[in-house]
Structure 1
Amino acid sequence: MNRVLIPVALSAPPPPPIAHGQVRQWAGETMGTTWSARAVLAPGQAANQAANQAEGIESGIRAVLDAVIAQMSNWSDTSDLSRFNRAAAGSWVTLPDDCFTVLQAALQTAHDSGGAYDPTAGPLVDLWGFGPAGRRIAAPSVDDVLRVRERCGWQRLDVDAGQRCVRQPGGVSLDFCAIAKGFAVDAVSRYLDAQGMAHHLVEIGGELRGQGLRPDGMPWWVELESPTADGTAPARTMIALLGLSVATSGDYRRYFEHGGQRFAHTIDPRTGYPAAHALASVTVIHRDCMLADALSTALTVLGPQAGMAFAQRHALAARFLVRTPDGFDELATPAFAAMLS
């Protein structure tokens, strides 16, 4: 049985659909994953004009994505983030506007979640084989976890918002992998808006944002990502992305097994170990994809009970899928349930 989710309220009514408009699609690779974008082009253009515009849009999207990587990738030695990570202890590092915006959002999420999400957990992600240092096939020792965890801690960062700079306390390594994709989705959406394409759908690695309407007047419908178990999955859930974003975090995409245990890529910065509970995935629906991305990670680390309490306290539209011997139990916040039609 399929279900649909529709926004309870819109921040602004969508612009009228472009009757007889043409939906164009672009796609490629970025940030170790894939991206795609769809936008409605107005009719009445000559074929060569439409082709030239489409080519220019693709180049523009790639430039937006390349700029995010240049600022925020800890996989690139030349990025602004890596420049901060290499900075001498006690030095202040000025960050570009977008990078600083993401840092502020990351630190706010870290504060609100009690450190369940922590942008300084990069060394732990590396230690467990999910970062630039490369994969591993065995769990690290307790001593290694304790040693590396001492280098982490979002509270160690001093920020000067007026100058857009952050102090390197020594040995801190920022990692925006759980928030930069969402920011990039938002950035591409803003770019398309600036090109006069108010009707569009953007996706990067499963994180999505939709705005406006299709030429037929229908919203951009997307299916929420769900894990499978023994060939079964929860009921298909479709959402109308009318000025909304959606991000899903789960333990079923990146993991390794050792000694009969499964170690997933979502690290709990508070313990230094991968999150270990029955939670299979968390989906967050939010106006901003950047925040949906970070919050889905925080809720995954918090787990079903604490995560649900946090989501309710912050009025988040969130869905938790919890593993059971018979498949999955779904837990939905009131804000999520209110969208079900």
Structure 2
Amino acid sequence: MLLCVCCVGLTACSQPDPVWRLEGMQGTALWHVTVNRPPATLSEAQLQAGLNNAFAETNQLIGSWEPTSTISQFNRYSGMDWFSVSPKLAKLVELTLHISQQSAGSYDVTLAPLLQLWGFGSHDSAKERIPTQAEIALTRAKVGYQKLQVRLDPPALRKSQPDLHLELASVADGFAADQAGLYLESLGIHDYMVEIAGEVRTRGISPRGDAWRIAIEKPQEEAGRMVQQGVSLRKAGLATSGDYRNFFVKGGQRYSHTFDPTTGSPVTHNLASASVLAEETTVADAYATLFMVLGEEKAKAFAETHGIHAYFIWRTDDGFKTFATTGFSEAFINN
């Protein structure tokens, strides 16, 4: 959802320090890492291998597409006693439940059965369907963040319903970016940018010698990718959620992959894109998802009330309109 504009524009005489650009796959998403001034004791090949391993560890923790991952094992587990997990996963689930409670359930990481009912998550367009209200009601009975508990010490999860399904896709890319960033910092790397599926984590300075320049994409479905707004980041995570990449149209009606837990159906408001800035990309990722559920008016009010730095783009009859919270405008917009 974000265009990473990391234009270097440097010549050999003005760039004495090396810049490494690495990439790979995290599940089905492509990741990019740019490192400015890497340590002399580390080789680029060593860093590539280390990052591959860091992303693989994240997959094994929260990748619902990985049958052996911790989250997949928890989803298959039919018991209702405590299920041991790593401290990282327990803290991540604690964050998601906090936002669920904070938003009165508008954000919910147990929605997977509803997504599957509507055919989202499948590459087969024939599975995209409009279920009956009876089917939605039956499926909603399998959903609810209140049926999930987390314990930090010792770290564990517990479900109050055997078929409860935990899906952390709404924070997976942000979490992966943060974990990769922490790995880089453990190696003594302080100037870097990590990007995965549009979610970004930055620290330090860019190869230009100033802040990392990132662009928020215009939420258009056709005519290529265009920049809507630029931001400059030094120590922040930026995440964007939108409705213009994953949707289907049937009977002239557009159905987004963003669901309202209170109805069990895709949202119907005009918000096309929500971008959030936070120190940790995981947090930004979760709130961006929440705002796409709430819609432009409720999201603006929520962001202002809770001091969340956010930027919204919504559709009108005359084109797109935008709104940036006070904190977003003052701290991050690159004019």
TM-score (normalizing by structure 2): 0.89
Amino acid at match of 1:57: L
Q: Deviations over 1:270-290 (max 9, x none)?
A: 211111111111011111100
Q: Is the 8 A contact 2:211 2:233 kept in 1?
A: yes
Distance across 2 between alignment mates of 1:101 and 1:226? 33
From 254, 260, 264, the counterpart of 1:272: 264
Distance across 2 between alignment mates of 1:234 and 1:334? 24
Question: Which residue is 2:7 aligned to?
Answer: none
Question: Which residue is 1:253 aligned to?
Answer: 245
Tell me which stretches of 4 or more aligned residues in structure 1 moved more than 6 Å: 232-235
The reply on whether 1:326 has 2:322 as its aligned counterpart is no
Question: Which residue is 2:5 aligned to?
Answer: none
Secondary structure in 1 aligned to 2:16? Answer: coil
From 162, 168, 175, the counterpart of 2:159: 168
Amino acid at match of 1:304: E
Shift of 1:234: 8.5
Secondary structure in 1 aligned to 2:46? Answer: helix
Q: Deviations over 1:247-299 (max 9, x none)?
A: 11110011111111111111112211111111111011111100100100001
Distance across 1 between alignment mates of 2:272 and 2:33? 28
Q: Deviations over 1:1-57 (max 9, x none)?
A: xxxxxxxxxxxxxxxxx97211100012213211000002358x5xxx76xx11111
From 180, 187, 204, the counterpart of 2:172: 180
Shift of 1:330: 0.6
Distance across 1 between alignment mates of 2:259 and 2:276? 18
Question: Which residue is 1:119 aligned to?
Answer: 109
**1:269-308 pair list within 5 angstroms:** 269-308=261-300
Shift of 1:160: 2.4
Distance across 1 between alignment mates of 2:276 and 2:25? 24
Shift of 1:236: 3.7
Cα–Cα, structure 1 residues 74 and 308, in superposed 2: closer, same or farther, change >3 Å?
same
Distance across 1 between alignment mates of 2:91 and 2:54? 15
TM-score (normalizing by structure 1): 0.88
Cα–Cα, structure 1 residues 304 and 232, in superposed 2: closer, same or farther, change >3 Å?
farther
Distance across 1 between alignment mates of 2:230 and 2:53? 31
Distance across 2 between alignment mates of 1:239 and 1:167? 40
Secondary structure in 2 aligned to 1:179? Answer: helix
Shift of 1:321: 0.8
Question: Which residue is 1:38 aligned to?
Answer: 34
Amino acid at match of 1:24: W
Distance across 2 between alignment mates of 1:70 and 1:232? 34
Distance across 2 between alignment mates of 1:118 and 1:167? 16
Amino acid at match of 2:33: A
Q: Deviations over 1:102-131 (max 9, x none)?
A: 111111111111111101111112222223
Question: Which residue is 1:10 aligned to?
Answer: none
Q: Which fold has the larger relative contact order, with Cα–Cα distance below 8 Å and residues 6 or more apart in sequence? A: 1
Cα–Cα, structure 1 residues 20 and 233, in superposed 2: closer, same or farther, change >3 Å?
closer
The reply on whether 1:63 has 2:53 as its aligned counterpart is yes
How many residues align structurally? Answer: 318
From 192, 201, 208, the counterpart of 1:209: 201
- Structure 1 unmatched runs, 5+: 1-17
Amino acid at match of 2:26: T
Distance across 1 between alignment mates of 2:274 and 2:204? 26
Distance across 1 between alignment mates of 2:87 and 2:263? 32
Query: What do you get for the CA RMSD once the two structures are aligned?
Result: 2.2
Give the % identical residues: 31
Amino acid at match of 2:262: R
Secondary structure in 1 aligned to 2:114? Answer: helix
- Structure 2 unmatched runs, 5+: 1-13
Shift of 1:88: 1.7
Q: Is the 8 A contact 2:221 2:245 kept in 1?
A: no
Cα–Cα, structure 1 residues 40 and 131, in superposed 2: closer, same or farther, change >3 Å?
same
Distance across 1 between alignment mates of 2:210 and 2:65? 39
Secondary structure in 2 aligned to 1:338? Answer: helix
Q: Is the 8 A contact 2:309 2:328 kept in 1?
A: yes
Distance across 1 between alignment mates of 2:310 and 2:226? 15
Q: Is the 8 A contact 1:75 1:132 kept in 2?
A: no
